[in-house]
Amino acid sequence: MRVLVLGGTRFIGRAIVDELLDAGHEALVVHRGETEPAGLALTPHLHTDREGRAHRRGQLEKFGPEAMIDCRAMTRTDATAALAAIPRDLRQVVLSSMDVYRAFGSLLAGVETDPLPLDETSPVRTERFPYRGQVEGREEYEKLDVEEEYLRRRATVCRLPMVYGDHDYQCREEFILRRVRAGRRAIPVGPASFLWSRGYVREIARGVRLSLESEGAIGEVINLCEATTSSIGLWATQILRAAGSSAELVRAPEELLPEDLQLTKNQSQHVLIVPDKARQLLGWVHADPEQTVRTSVQWHLANSPEGASDDFSADDRALEAAERA
């Protein structure tokens, strides 16, 4: 197919473009031109923002698209602007997030509301805009609004978990790798029993591509995530092992944990998802997480993020308190 990819230059989007091209599809990457790092796949790009896409319809139609994947719709306005610029009969896939589930809102609120595991029929949040007043630049972010707009056009909605892997600008594994690089021998943690479904970026991209190709996925909501989920503590251990580190995870007082280790604190609500529908509808079976964590860790060790802090004074205070306890 000839596929428009909205976004497609950062992390999940670039992995999706690679996956499409490897599978024999053509791709036109449509983005603002603000993020175009080295190493992107060789495929045409069209630079325009969402508001300008309706005015670039002629150029879009010249490509002759048969499908579209929207990697960057964060608000209702994003979704409506994208849909206004494309023919109504295009096959459509949009990336959403598991933060639409009520359980995620409960996690943010520090309460427990939902039994596990969660699937596509589990309750979604009733309150909108989960990051308003919490995360700068995300005042209007709401994937539930995005899903509503796309489902009206019988798009496939792919709900994604915490995604890790090469080119991850959120640096999900840095809570451990920052300390590995510094040669730390002990890392203070909380109970680290929290369960949060994850997915390796290349496996997620393959699931999105299969969603695009499947007639049975039209108009469906599909969870893409690993079928088994390690606790945050076991994941940290896997990261250490993959990095060749013998650092010890030391139980420390939660109130003294550094900001980037808050994920190891006790959580009232887990966010544990099952991908049964993706397996049954798409035949999507992902690689072994032990292997994908190893691959991801090796990439991040070879591509250290800029500006990482070398201040471990909060670690030392937490470890000293753990030793006194």
Question: How far is residue 188's CA from residue 48's CA, in Å, rounded to a whole number?
Answer: 46
Whole-number pLDDT of residue 50 = 56
| Core vs surface per residue 151-174: b (16+ CB within 10 A) or e | beeebbbbbbbbbbbbbbeeebbb
Whole-number pLDDT of residue 149 = 98
- pLDDT tens per residue, range 231-242: 999 999 999 999
Residue 37 CB: number of other CB atoms within 10 A? 10
| Across 190-196, average pLDDT | 98
Percent of the chain with pLDDT over 90: 83
Residue-range definition of the domain harbouring residue 254: 2-324
**Positive or negative, the Cα torsion across 93, 94, 97, 103?**
negative
The CATH code of the domain that includes 275 is: 3.40.50.720
* Percent composition of the chain: helix, strand, coil (DSSP 3-state, to 5): 40, 15, 45
Question: How far is residue 249's CA from residue 187's CA, in Å, rounded to a whole number?
Answer: 5
- pLDDT tens per residue, range 144-171: 999 999 999 999 999 999 999 999 999 9
In the chain, the number of structural domains is: 1
Whole-number pLDDT of residue 53 = 53
- pLDDT tens per residue, range 89-147: 899 999 999 999 999 999 999 999 999 999 999 999 999 999 998 888 899 999 999 99
Q: How far is CA 36 from the centre of its chain?
A: 19
> Is it the case that residue 223 has pLDDT exceeding 70?
yes
Whole-number pLDDT of residue 185 = 97
> Is it the case that residue 325 has pLDDT exceeding 90?
no
Q: What is the mean pLDDT of the chain?
A: 93
Tokens read off for 294? 């190893």
The CA R_g of the chain, rounded to the nearest whole Å, is 20
Whole-number pLDDT of residue 43 = 83
Smallest Cα–Cα separation from 103: which of 121, 90, 88, 116? 116
Whole-number pLDDT of residue 52 = 55
Whole-number pLDDT of residue 57 = 65
- pLDDT tens per residue, range 4-62: 999 888 899 999 999 999 999 999 999 776 666 666 777 878 887 655 555 566 777 78
Block residue for tokens 């009232």? 268
